[in-house]
Structure 1
Amino acid sequence: MAIHAHIGVLAFPVVSHAAPLLTLVRQLAAASSSDIIFSFFNTEKSNCAIFSGQEFDNIKAYDVWDGTPEGEAFSGSHFEAMQLFVDATPGNFEKAMKEAESESGLKISCLLTDAFLWFACDMAEERRVPWVAFWAASPSSLSAHMCTDQIWSMMRSIGAAEREEKTLSFLPGMSSVRFSDLPGEILPENSESPLAIMIYKMVQKLPKSTAVVINSFEEIYTLIKNDLKSKFQNFLDIQLSILSEDPSIVSGDSDQECLSWLEKQRHASVVYISFGTVAEAQPEELAALAEVLETGEFPFLWSMRDNAKKLLPEGFLNRTSKFGMIVSWAPQLKVLENPSVGVHMTHGGWNSVLESISCEVPMICKPFLADQRLNSRMVELVWKIGVRIEGGVITKNGTIEALHYIMSNETGKAIRENLNKLKQKAENAVKLDGSSTKNFKALLELLKSSRGV
């Protein structure tokens, strides 16, 4: 079959960004009958983390330079690594794109990129090809970022102390959101940080995109959706594989061990804890959470990086071994699907929120950064499918209160009913005539209509 289009996919090398972008590409590749080829550009480390080796014939991964000086072992922080990568762009992508074009014999006919990579707008204009931007975070955070100038103007008229309670009632669908819930990169005092500069440049470029794609479903946020649709040529909600397991994911022995452990637990009794791949709670917060789990003998599955285990109270692992389990990584969707899981204690990342909705698991949110505070506010006050930990800091009393609230018959039942309603909307969105299905077909046609030379 003749190849109709060559799509250059530019990823931002953070798992919560690159993994859902790859999921979208896999779905597009499966639906395109091999008449479209996808060149996936990402750093070597990130590619190794998200590719399984069981890919479609029309997807090829290319490693781009991550900015680390050649021959030097990087030992800095996550944010320092991000800055090195940003400094290496867009030259690192340009080099890899030329390699992909040479190997395929086909010019790249469309750029499908992480929205953070604002320079893709200029690259697409130079090549005279469409630019499709993928927003990996929540719709509400994108809406807030697109209104950065308006938010700054409002902030000048209120004192710093007022931010705690003042809501964003002037923005569609944000009447329950406070200024203090906003992603840190929006705040004026953080405007000179590398990530804030990148996002602000993105805000200026996104209206020029051919389409903006987001991992969500329209029915979850009607007012915000309508506002975003008015800002872009095409705004496409495409719900990714949260309702069915990605076929490329293969469980290892350690995964099977924690899943087997879950099978032995009582229905809706387990507290599943995972704070994502970037941030980690402070030592005093970990100690408070550990004390609650131990004294209350709550069955728990805790996904925790190995270097954080040393921060737990001495002897905690031995004392809780009969009713708890700690793993360095867990297959989250499979965990949440297990009927023994009663609550998800989460950082409130957008992927985790969607997965909790799809599995009807109530959330206790402990936000750290980015859109997590905003997502947590929506979870608690708008959708009413969970709670945010009191004050945003894990304490013994706050955690006990949150657990009792979720686990109680009355409030817990209401939360689960709300989750069920949202899940039904999510399922309807991916039916043959659903909104996500229609948007996916529109994106596929857009890609097919681009032509390599």
Structure 2
Amino acid sequence: MATISSHIAVMTFPFSSHPSALLNLVRRLAASAPTVRFSFLSTAKSNQAIFSGKQYDNIKPYDVSDGLPEGGGSRGEGRLLVDRYILSIWWRNGCDAMGVPWIALWIGGPCSLSIHIHTDPIRSTVGDTGMAQNAEQTLKFIPGMSKIQISDLPEGIVDHLEMPIAHALHIMGLKLPGATAVVLNSYEEIDLTIITDLKTKLKKVLSVGPSTLTSSSPSKPDESGCLPWLDKHKAASVAYISFGTILVPPPSELAALAEAIEASGVPYLWSLPDHLRHHLPQGFVERTSTRGMIVSWAPQLQVLAHTSVGIHITHSGWNSVLESISYAVPMICRPFFADNMLNCRMVEDVWEIGVRVEDGILTKSGTMKAIELLLFNDKGKK
């Protein structure tokens, strides 16, 4: 092994796609800089998942606390576990205190990053009346945000300021101007006005995305045979359904979506965890078996790249949006939380490459309208 010339500590937010996105970037940096050692700090669960079966000469994982009591305590899920981790992290101000240069990777879109940097001006503009009273007000005072509404903002920007994650993101927005550079999982042309504005507020902005297009092979093989199944269908005819790894629609919406898919007659590939299938209408799987496929996991990038996929029904998380854009797949968005609403607004009203489901909720009639518009209507083809 080459003599180590320098050492970089890599600290990740160990949830959702954050660790794998950061490791993907570090993996490329490590290959280009073999004399640099990278220490990858994350929770044991996260490290085990992304480093399983993989070894790198100059990247070594180190486990840090997940914020739960030693040897006990509920593991928690979703936002609860995220909040516990945020409250426990020890490195928030470490780099500043030690005078160490630091670089931040933002795996979301430029729009959501801009929101966190402009949090205080947004609060000053909205005042004390809160989100509910200003839901339709636009952020035209922020470059590139003229179509973004107050109702599109993540929790904690206007209301619920006491939430740990909201507080941490606010602090992040205030500290980012001190970073040596901010790396974006995006490309400049998609949000040129926003990125140009960010460059006036940050020392250096580096757009290196979409990162998933430079990732290694899928984390798991296509054991369910999604790709051979897609080979049997006509171009741009299949509805691909996936809502990410954190949240899924409530049972009533899963049932409504299934009813819409069945009534529309479209072929579908649905990535749905096994433990949620009992929420589907009785007999749905059997009645649609000749034109549908339900799997517990799908190789999303390869699926979206397939010519038979015509629409992506999604939560509008940033990776999913970028991947859909990369392969020119229109989106039907059902946003949940965090940056989902912002991304959905950009998809529908700024880029005009998809639609939000009616009232933001999956209903049989609203979903059928969206499918009809994107798959069979001239506007959808455009």
Deviation by residue 1:200-250 (Cα, 9 ceiling, x = unmatched):
111221111111111000111111111111111111111144334x22535
**Distance in 1 between the 2:311 and 2:43 partners?**
34
- Give yes or no for the alignment of 1:40 onto 2:10: no
| Distance change >3 Å, CA 64–CA 159, structure 1 → 2 | closer
**Distance in 2 between the 1:263 and 1:402 partners?**
25
What is the deviation of 1:26?
1.3
Normalised TM-score (structure 2): 0.94
- Give yes or no for the alignment of 1:31 onto 2:32: yes
| Distance change >3 Å, CA 287–CA 86, structure 1 → 2 | same
Q: Which residue of 1 aligns with 2:290?
A: 322
5+ residue gaps, structure 2? none
5+ residue gaps, structure 1? 94-118, 415-453
What is the deviation of 1:329?
1.4
What is the deviation of 1:258?
1.7
- Report 1:128-167 matches (<5 A): 128-156=99-127, 162-167=133-138
**Distance in 1 between the 2:16 and 2:128 partners?**
38
Q: 2:257 aligns with which of 279, 289, 293?
A: 289
Q: When you count helix as a share of all residues, which structure comes out higher?
A: 1
- Report 1:355-374 matches (<5 A): 355-374=323-342
What is the aligned length?
381
**Distance in 2 between the 1:153 and 1:88 partners?**
30
SS of match in other structure, 1:344: strand
| Distance change >3 Å, CA 373–CA 197, structure 1 → 2 | same
| Distance change >3 Å, CA 378–CA 5, structure 1 → 2 | same
| Distance change >3 Å, CA 128–CA 265, structure 1 → 2 | same
**Distance in 2 between the 1:37 and 1:84 partners?**
30
What is the deviation of 1:405?
1.1
Deviation by residue 1:47-98 (Cα, 9 ceiling, x = unmatched):
22223423431111112121222222635332221222223311xx6xxxxx
Q: Residue 389 of structure 1 contacts residue 398 of structure 1 at CA under 8 Å; is this kept in 2?
A: yes
The letter for the 2-side match of 1:4 is S
Q: Residue 267 of structure 2 contacts residue 292 of structure 2 at CA under 8 Å; is this kept in 1?
A: yes
Q: Residue 132 of structure 1 contacts residue 211 of structure 1 at CA under 8 Å; is this kept in 2?
A: yes
Q: Residue 15 of structure 1 contacts residue 50 of structure 1 at CA under 8 Å; is this kept in 2?
A: no
What percent of counterpart residues are identical? 50
Q: Residue 300 of structure 1 contacts residue 325 of structure 1 at CA under 8 Å; is this kept in 2?
A: yes
What is the deviation of 1:398?
1.1
| Distance change >3 Å, CA 250–CA 279, structure 1 → 2 | closer
- Give yes or no for the alignment of 1:230 onto 2:200: yes
What is the deviation of 1:340?
1.0
| Distance change >3 Å, CA 73–CA 303, structure 1 → 2 | farther
- Give yes or no for the alignment of 1:299 onto 2:267: yes
- Give yes or no for the alignment of 1:337 onto 2:305: yes
| Distance change >3 Å, CA 6–CA 249, structure 1 → 2 | farther
- Report 1:27-106 matches (<5 A): 27-32=28-33, 34-72=34-72, 74-90=74-90
**Distance in 1 between the 2:87 and 2:133 partners?**
37
- Report 1:431-450 matches (<5 A): none
Q: Which residue of 2 aligns with 1:210?
A: 180
Q: 1:183 aligns with which of 154, 164, 167?
A: 154
Deviation by residue 1:391-445 (Cα, 9 ceiling, x = unmatched):
111111111111111112521221xxxxxxxxxxxxxxxxxxxxxxxxxxxxxxx
- Give yes or no for the alignment of 1:18 onto 2:14: no
| Distance change >3 Å, CA 63–CA 128, structure 1 → 2 | same
**Distance in 2 between the 1:157 and 1:275 partners?**
34
| Distance change >3 Å, CA 146–CA 79, structure 1 → 2 | same
Normalised TM-score (structure 1): 0.80
Q: Which residue of 2 aligns with 1:4?
A: 5
SS of match in other structure, 2:74: coil
What is the deviation of 1:9?
0.5
**Distance in 2 between the 1:125 and 1:161 partners?**
37
- Give yes or no for the alignment of 1:168 onto 2:139: yes
SS of match in other structure, 1:53: coil
**Distance in 1 between the 2:156 and 2:268 partners?**
34
